[in-house]
Each structure stands twice: as structure tokens, then as C-alpha cells.
Chains A and B, each alone.
Chain A
Amino acid sequence: MELSAERDISADRETVWAALMDPEVLRQCVPGCQELTGTPEDGFDAVVVQKVGPVKATFKGKVTLSDMDRPNSLTLNGEGKGGAAGFAKGGADVRLGEIEDGTRLSYDVKASVGGKLAQLGSRIIDGFAKKMADQFFKRFQEIVEGTGEAPQDEAKESSQKQGWLSRFKKDA
């Protein structure tokens, strides 16, 4: 399945770019992400728990960043294996454009599934992928703009539940 969308973020391109490179931001943005470690250069290892229709599974996989043209564009690719549930693969071409109030983030997403996910979920997979992409970029926007709380995550201390932008500024 394929989908394209765009989102306007009230932050400059460098800020948005830096956020995209931050594993902690990605962890908070990837829906159902339990762990995400690594670096933009070597890629990230991720553990994601997701329910697709009737199939709930823990996906272990790798996310790689490529074609990096700071701060204009990059490609994200991920593949997760969910054991008996099958596998999911996806990629997003992300472009950052300058607009008056900040950055226009546009993305083209491609996703495919295999095994039981395809067998049981093919009718709902398009909607699922769209929802995942929407959630990812919505959270990303919230975190970068510092307007939204980080997603609920019981495993994390409440002190970390703050806008990324403020944390970024503090660190800077």
C-alpha cells in the first residue's frame, strides 16, 4: 500500500531534522514502540507491539535512515518480524520544505505485510498503515512543537513526559 501526506510544523528545518535523528523522539513517535536504540548512522533496533485486526504481535526489527540530505530530505526504511504473525515492511520518503511559519514535512509511505498479517489483515492493512503513519507524524509534530505531551508510557519516568522541544533546548 502507498500513501502520501504532509504536515506543517512550527519549527525550522534544522530543528525538525535533528528531531528525526533522535532515537528517543522516534521511540515516542512510533506507535506501540517499546524500545528503540541505535544511531542514525548505524540504524536503529526497535521492538514494537501492535495489534492489526485480530493479530497482536511483538515485532522486532531494524530501522535504517538513508539518502540523508540535511535538512532537505531522507528515507526511512523498516522491517519487523512478528514471529507467527508474519512480518511488516515499510519505508517513507520524507521531505522538509521551508514555509512561512516553519517547516512543511511531506512524506510518501510504502508498506507491505506478509504471512498471517497478510492473510488475516489484508482488508484492513491500508487503513492500519494510514493510521500508523498519521499517528507517527502527529506525535512527531506535537513533540517537536512542544505542544503535546509525550505519549503515555508507563515504563518511563514522568520527568521524561515533556515536550521534546523544551528538552532539546535544555540540552542545547
Chain B
Amino acid sequence: MPKDSGIGASTKRREDVRFLTGRGRYTDDINLRGQAYVHFLRSDVAHGTLKGVDTSAAEAMPGVIRIFTGADFEGVGGLPCGWQITDRQGNPMQEPPHPVLAQGKVRHVGDPIAAVVADSFEEARDAAEAIEVDIEELPAVVDMKAALADGAPKVHDDLSSNLCYDWGFVEDNRQAVDDAIKGAHHVTTLELVNQRLAPNAMEPRVAIGDYAGHNDESTLYTTSQNPHVIRLLMGAFVLGIPEHKLRVIAPDVGGGFGSKIFHYAEEAFCTFAAKQLKRPVKWTSTRTEAFMSDAQGRDHVTKVELALDAEGNFLAYRTDTLANMGAYLSTFSTSVPTWLHGTLAAGNYKTPLIYVNVKAVFTNTVPVDAYRGAGRPEATYQLERVIDKAAREMGIDPVELRRRNFITEFPYATPVAVEYDTGDYAATLDKALEIADWDSFDKRAEESAKKGLWRGRGINTYIEACGIAPSALVGQLGARAGLYESATVRVNATGGLVVMTGSHSHGQGHETAFPQVIAEMIGIDANMVEIVHGDTANTPMGMGTYGSRSIAVGGSAMVRATEKIIAKAKKIAAHLMEASDADIELKDGAFTVAGTDKSVAWGDVTLAAYVPHNYPLEDIEPGLEETAFYDPSNFTYPAGAYICEVEVDPETGKVTVDRFAAADDFGNVINPMIVEGQVHGGLAQGLGQALLENCVYDENGQLLSATYMDYAMPRADDLPSYRVDHSCQTPCTHNPLGVKGCGEAGAIGSPPAVVNAVVDALQRGGKDITHIDMPLSPGRVWAAMNV
């Protein structure tokens, strides 16, 4: 019987009422009295020496207040990188400066050169056209292999090369892995590209800086997934503003997918300029600007080798990756191909020996950072593609080969430094086979054949690591941040609650799901709970939302704070009923003394806390408000099995995803409807990568895909009606809710299933094609068949 409230109920999203009726309050909806507008003049060339910026003509243009260039930011900090990687030799990565506005050189198309602040957006943009920029164009490096070649032009002149780091993991395993591969019965190799993607949140980025002279306080309104992180990075590293003089507000945010984690130059600029000009300064990105200034995703080129014995047992696995950093190190760019990627190399399998090598490379392209899945989609894609190829080469059924190698005992310590606490990979695989109707594939293939189409099927079993933690560990690994989460639970006198969370909701449905947890714990209606997030002035220091961490880490902090509330409320209730607090039970919003009919309502206790006329003041303070910071002891490990069926038109190469089944184990589920929605969205993004999306630069570093005419986003008619299941649940063993997180699974698990299916269809059609790089556009598939 489905529940209609509390944990496990498919409560409709309360935030959707305002989103769907156009009453959301996004950053661009905010207009401050006297605000000015900034337009950034961005580089048209990918690489060049900035010889001069003449703003004199532009300054005389109507409405212009001031024009800033790199020179105005001398002495101001650069944008920091939040994770230091140590290379194979034990040396720190090469970390170049990242100025707010270009200084000396431009390094990618879109690199901001000057910022025109004017009375209107139109005047700012017009004036920018009158700025004379003298750039001596330099040869650009776009391709990663070329960037690492001897004599390649250097993106950063002060660095020894374009190599950011050469990372080995686990370095001590290197020799053993090499030896195992050398002596193996069978080795399957594959070279593949995980193409660059543009994140494309529906809401482009916006920043408004404001400055209050009377108390010397700066405020930044911004489209962020983590306002506290922005406050810390911008305050401490860029502008030198202490946190108590800096407030960061991220109101309703229309999607992020990772791209709004990072601290961007435009945020620092607006905050800086507002203080200089004593006027609010607003920037709203255009869509094309987003394509060349939002951090992009993926962009790995990898060689993988999987060694197997005669029975198909995995013996060793080795990957060799070039990871594109772009022109500068975005906030968490360096962690994505390393700790968020190498640690997932084991997948769901008990491969005893694994070695991951990653070379991170600077190129004259837009910086690359976390994008939905961040490192884990790349790890899954490599492993699941090479397993599929190995199955074909060895004549073993791809389902059976996976099953044979599954980890079945938990906890399981992988050779890549993480310990899976729980899981049941056979269960999700069986569920996926069931909902995909795997056994009647042949019948559907016949139907396709009648239409002249080749049907193929692909399977992928994945694991991901969510809720990255604990802080002490990530600190050892180079993170310059903690990865706890916080919540303050404030109970009001009349019994309603406000939860101030360090998590940030930008589409995830926290305002609905979080109250369901509290409602379950106290036994009250979820509508008595309000979620406050996104404002550093009224939420405790928190790390924000990414990496599917909100319910696992933020939710756990909220549970801990609510537990403190309940413990204190029980003491008040015990006092009111003249009983021992050990005997007090809380159920359905009422406190009772065990074994008696004595009872006080939740509201009576909360009122007593604030009107303490009859109150144990000698034991406890008045009021009912508690804060908890939760630092997890481990990642969580959602896992699942995805099955894709495609039809390929041999005449045109067009791929149609006809069926898609996703069986996920997310542990306990708070709101099944929201979880299903998260999976649907993730699948759409994953299928977008598999079939359509590609961020393209030409050999001069010109960005060619900067509009929706050229960058193909998935649309409704590109997607099938999904079959989604999350009934296989092995609860997380180390957080109080037993939850694992579901935000990225769809985007991680789907691309390999699609590519496996297309290769299968082509093989069934008689084409000996073992791999096609994504996106599997008709052109690429046709070329693979015919060229």
C-alpha cells in the first residue's frame, strides 16, 4: 500500500506550483534600485597576446559608467582551484593563475577582456563594440595529444608545459597490473572518446553585485548550487572580503547539472564593481555566452585494456586517459578525472588489479569541470564498453560475463581505495532483464526486420559514488574544502518548523522531500515544515548540492538536528507530564508517557518552549532550535542495470532508441515520484550524450557549437517511454536514512547501454563494427557502415 505522506510517499512537488505558474523568483527576476548593467567583451580568438585595450572611444558612448580591464584587477586575487592533485612523482599539479579579466594573454574564445558597465544592457553592449582590442594571435592548442607534443604552443607561458598533472592510481599497483595484462589468456583493448558536452541549464547564469555603504556589506545574488562555497572562495581568495561582510544569495535556480557549482569571474566582477561604483551591477548571460563561459563537461580520450582468463574472469584492468582541463582550472576541474573517476574503475566487479593513469591537459578551450556524473560517467563508459567488446571477442553472453564477475559480498574493498558498503547487483540486473522484456527480444527484432531496420540491445551495469566524503579523507586527497552538510531546525512557538539547510535546491525537489522526512520523524503534516536554502545570511555554512549528496548528506544533517529537537522536546514533555524523559514516546505528533494514557500534543510542547511559564529552566534553555553538521564516514554507492534497445536504419544510419529500462538501487527512497523524475532527467541527458550532443572546436580553437542550431539537445521525440524501477533497495549502512542518492545515475548508466546496443544492432546486421565514438549521429553510424 503506497503511503500518502512521510518517507516513501509520492508527494507532489510543492515548489512546482510556483515554477509552473511563472512565479519562481530567479536571479534575473531581481532588479535593484539604481542597478547598472555589465557586458563582457570576450575574446574572438582562442590564443593571443593582449597588446592593448583602448577603451577611450567606448567610454564616451552614451550611458557608459565605467569600463574595466585586466589592469583594474591587478592586486586582486584570481579564481581559485578547489582541489590540488599530487602527481605520480609526488609533486603538486601545475596551477596557473586565473584572472577575473584577461591579463597579458587571452586563452580561449570567450575569455573576458573588458567589462563595460552602463545604465542599460543595450548601452553596455553597444559601447563594447567601440573598444579597440589589439591582440596578436598565437597558434592555438586544441587537441590534447598535440598539446603535449614537444614544442607545442604553451597555454600558460609560465608553466613548464601544457601538462597539469600525470596522475597514477593506485601507483603501487602499476607493475602488478602490467604483469597481469602481459600474461593474460585474453586482453581486450579499446580506445574511446568521451566527448565534450555543454551543460545547458535552462536558466543561464546571472550575477548581481550590490554594496551597502552604511555597513560596508557586499551582497552577491547568483545562480549557484552552493552559495556558501562561493562566499568562501570569492571572499577569501579573490576579493579579500571577510564572510561577515559578504552575503551570497542563490534564490530559485533553474538547473545546474554541475555547471553552477563553480566560482565564476562574472560573480567576482559584479561584486567588485558594485563596491567600486556604489551601484548594483547586473549581468545576465546570453545563451551563446553560456556556451563559451560555463564550464563544460567530460572530454576524455581513453585507452582501456581488460585482461581475462579463459573462463572470462576479469584479472586486471588498465586505463590511460587524457583529460581536457581547458584553458584554466575551474573550481573542481582537477578532481573530476582523478578522485571522482579513478575510484570508480572497479565498477560492479571483483577485478583484483586496477591501474588508472590520467594526464590532465591545458588547451585553448573553455574550462572543463564537473557535469552530471562528473568522472563517474567516464569511468562507467570505459569499463562497460570494454566488457561488451570482451564478451563478443570471447563468445560469452554479455549478461553472463557481467554476472560472473559481480561483487557479491559486502562490504567490499576495491583495489581503487573505496569500500562499497552494500549492494545487490544480481538483483538489479534481474529486475532490468524483467522490465526490459529481455527474453522476447527476438520477436521484436523480427518486427524491426520487416520494417528494414536492425534491432540491437545493449546492457550496462553501473555503480556510482555519491555524497563524496568524509572531509578528513578528501582533505588528504587534496580537497581544499570539507564535504559535510548542515541544517538548522527551528521550531516555532505554534509548532511549525523551518529547516535552514546548507543544501541547495535547483530542480531536485528539496522543498517537498525534506519535509517528508521531518513529518515522518515527528508525526506531523509535512506542510508544517518549510525549507529555507540559498542565502548565506539565514542558513548555516553548508557545501551545497552536487554529486547526488543532498539527501544522503544534507538530509542526514537534517535528521541529526531533528533528533536533537526531539530529545529536547521530550524533556519539555516529561516536565509537563511530570514523568521521566526516558519514558516519553513521540508518535503521530503527540508525546505520551509509555504505558499510560498521559499525553501532550506537539504544539503544547513547542509553545512551552517559547512561553516557558511551566518549564525546567534549571535543566534546559527555552526555545527549540538545533543545528547539526553531518560529515559522512563514506561515500554512498547507488548501483543499477540499464538496458537499451535500438533500431538502426541501415540506409541512413539513424538510431532510434525504442526501449529503455533502468533498474536502480538507491537504497531507501524518500519520494518515489521525485526519484523517478530524477532518473528520467538523467536518462535524457545520457541519451543526449550518446546520440546528439557534441561541443566542437575547429583547429584554431573557434567554438563552432554555440547555439541550439549547432549543439543538438535531446528533444521529446528523441526519447522512448522509459521503464524505470527502484524496488531493489539495499539501504546505505552508514547514514541515518539509509539513502544513497539518485541525481546522476541516469546520466551515468545510459550512454554505454546505448552504444552497446548500436554496436549490437550493427553486428546483427552483418557489419563487423566494434566501436563508434559518441554522439552516434546518423552521419557517424552511416560512415562506420560505409566508409
Cβ of B698 and Cβ of A118 under 8 Å apart?
yes
Is A164 an interface residue when CB atoms closer than 8 A count as contact? Answer: no
Is A64 an interface residue when CB atoms closer than 8 A count as contact? Answer: no
- A99, B128: Cα distance in complex, Å: 52
- A168, B362: Cα distance in complex, Å: 56
Would you give the 0/1 interface string for B696-709, flagging 1 where the beta carbon is closer than 8 Å to chain A?
Answer: 10101011111101
Tell me which of A4-12, A108-116, A127-135 binds B: A108-116
- A147, B707: Cα distance in complex, Å: 43
Residues in A whose Cβ lies below 8 Å from that of B44? 86-87, 114-116
Cβ of A114 and Cβ of B709 under 8 Å apart?
no
Q: Which of B109, B128, B288, B696 makes the CB contact (< 8 A) with A120?
A: B288
In the complex, what residue of chain A is closest to B697 when comparing beta carbons? A118
Cβ of B706 and Cβ of A120 under 8 Å apart?
yes
Cβ of A123 and Cβ of B709 under 8 Å apart?
yes
Cβ of B129 and Cβ of A84 under 8 Å apart?
yes
Cβ of B128 and Cβ of A119 under 8 Å apart?
no
Residues in A whose Cβ lies below 8 Å from that of B698? 112, 118, 122
Cβ of A114 and Cβ of B700 under 8 Å apart?
yes
Kindly state the interface size class of chain B when it binds its partner: 20 to 34
Residues in B whose Cβ lies below 8 Å from that of A113? 702
Residues in B whose Cβ lies below 8 Å from that of A116? 44, 288
- A119, B287: Cα distance in complex, Å: 11
Is B45 an interface residue when CB atoms closer than 8 A count as contact? Answer: yes
Residues in B whose Cβ lies below 8 Å from that of A112? 698, 700, 702
Residues in A whose Cβ lies below 8 Å from that of B709? 120, 123
Would you give the 0/1 interface string for B118-139, flagging 1 where the beta carbon is closer than 8 Å to chain A?
Answer: 0000000100110000000000
CB distance from B134 to the nearest CB of A (A): 11
Most chain-B CB neighbours within 10 Å: which of A83, A112, A120, A122? Answer: A122
- List CB contacts (< 8 Å) of B699-722 with chain A: 700, 702-707, 709-710
Cβ of B45 and Cβ of A119 under 8 Å apart?
no
Is B292 an interface residue when CB atoms closer than 8 A count as contact? Answer: yes
- A114, B706: Cα distance in complex, Å: 12
- A87, B288: Cα distance in complex, Å: 17
Cβ of B702 and Cβ of A123 under 8 Å apart?
no
**Interface of A, helix, strand, loop or mixed by DSSP:** helix
Residues in B whose Cβ lies below 8 Å from that of A83? 129
A84-B128, A84-B129, A87-B44 known; A118+B703 contact, CB < 8 A? yes
Cβ of B704 and Cβ of A118 under 8 Å apart?
yes
Cβ of A119 and Cβ of B700 under 8 Å apart?
no
Would you give the 0/1 interface string for B277-293, flagging 1 where the beta carbon is closer than 8 Å to chain A?
Answer: 00000000000100110
Most chain-B CB neighbours within 10 Å: which of A87, A115, A123? Answer: A115
Cβ of A114 and Cβ of B702 under 8 Å apart?
yes
Cβ of B109 and Cβ of A115 under 8 Å apart?
yes
Residues in A whose Cβ lies below 8 Å from that of B109? 114-115, 118-119
**Interface of B, helix, strand, loop or mixed by DSSP:** loop
A86-B44, A112-B700, A114-B109 known; A120+B129 contact, CB < 8 A? no
Cβ of A122 and Cβ of B45 under 8 Å apart?
no
- A123, B704: Cα distance in complex, Å: 8
- A83, B703: Cα distance in complex, Å: 17
Cβ of A119 and Cβ of B706 under 8 Å apart?
yes
Residues in A whose Cβ lies below 8 Å from that of B705? 119, 122
- List CB contacts (< 8 Å) of A23-37 with chain B: none
Would you give the 0/1 interface string for A72-116, flagging 1 where the beta carbon is closer than 8 Å to chain B?
Answer: 000000000001101100000000000000000000000011111
In the complex, what residue of chain A is closest to B709 when comparing beta carbons? A123
- List CB contacts (< 8 Å) of B190-214 with chain A: none
- List CB contacts (< 8 Å) of B561-587 with chain A: none
Residues in A whose Cβ lies below 8 Å from that of B696? 122
- A40, B732: Cα distance in complex, Å: 77
- List CB contacts (< 8 Å) of B229-253 with chain A: none
Cβ of B702 and Cβ of A118 under 8 Å apart?
yes
Cβ of A119 and Cβ of B707 under 8 Å apart?
yes
CB distance from B48 to the nearest CB of A (A): 11
A86-B44, A114-B44 known; A122+B704 contact, CB < 8 A? yes
Q: Which of A114, A119, A123 makes the CB contact (< 8 A) with B288?
A: A119
Would you give the 0/1 interface string for B284-306, flagging 1 where the beta carbon is closer than 8 Å to chain A?
Answer: 00001001100000000000000
Cβ of B129 and Cβ of A119 under 8 Å apart?
no
Residues in B whose Cβ lies below 8 Å from that of A122? 696, 698, 702, 704-705, 710
Residues in B whose Cβ lies below 8 Å from that of A84? 125, 128-129
Cβ of B707 and Cβ of A120 under 8 Å apart?
yes
Residues in A whose Cβ lies below 8 Å from that of B702? 112-115, 118-119, 122
- List CB contacts (< 8 Å) of B729-784 with chain A: none
CB distance from A91 to the nearest CB of B (A): 14
Residues in A whose Cβ lies below 8 Å from that of B707? 119-120
Residues in A whose Cβ lies below 8 Å from that of B700? 112, 114
- A83, B706: Cα distance in complex, Å: 18
Would you give the 0/1 interface string for B129-158, flagging 1 where the beta carbon is closer than 8 Å to chain A?
Answer: 100000000000000000000000000000
Residues in B whose Cβ lies below 8 Å from that of A119? 109, 288, 291-292, 702-707, 710
Residues in A whose Cβ lies below 8 Å from that of B125? 84
Residues in B whose Cβ lies below 8 Å from that of A120? 288, 706-707, 709-710
CB distance from A59 to the nearest CB of B (A): 13
Residues in A whose Cβ lies below 8 Å from that of B706? 118-120
In the complex, what residue of chain A is closest to B129 when comparing beta carbons? A83
B residues at A contact (CB < 8 Å): 44-45, 109, 125, 128-129, 288, 291-292, 696, 698, 700, 702-707, 709-710
Q: Could you pull out 30 A-B pairs where Cβ atoms are within 8 angstroms?
A: A83-B129, A84-B125, A84-B128, A84-B129, A86-B44, A112-B698, A112-B700, A114-B44, A114-B109, A114-B700, A114-B702, A115-B44, A115-B45, A116-B44, A118-B109, A118-B698, A118-B703, A118-B704, A118-B706, A119-B291, A119-B292, A119-B702, A119-B703, A119-B704, A119-B707, A120-B288, A120-B707, A122-B702, A122-B705, A123-B710
What would 5 more interface pairs be, CB under 8 Å, given A118-B109, A119-B703, A119-B707? A83-B129, A114-B109, A118-B702, A119-B292, A120-B288
The 10 closest A-B pairs by CB, nearest first: A119-B706, A115-B44, A122-B704, A118-B702, A83-B129, A114-B44, A86-B44, A114-B702, A84-B129, A120-B707
A residues at B contact (CB < 8 Å): 83-84, 86-87, 112-116, 118-120, 122-123
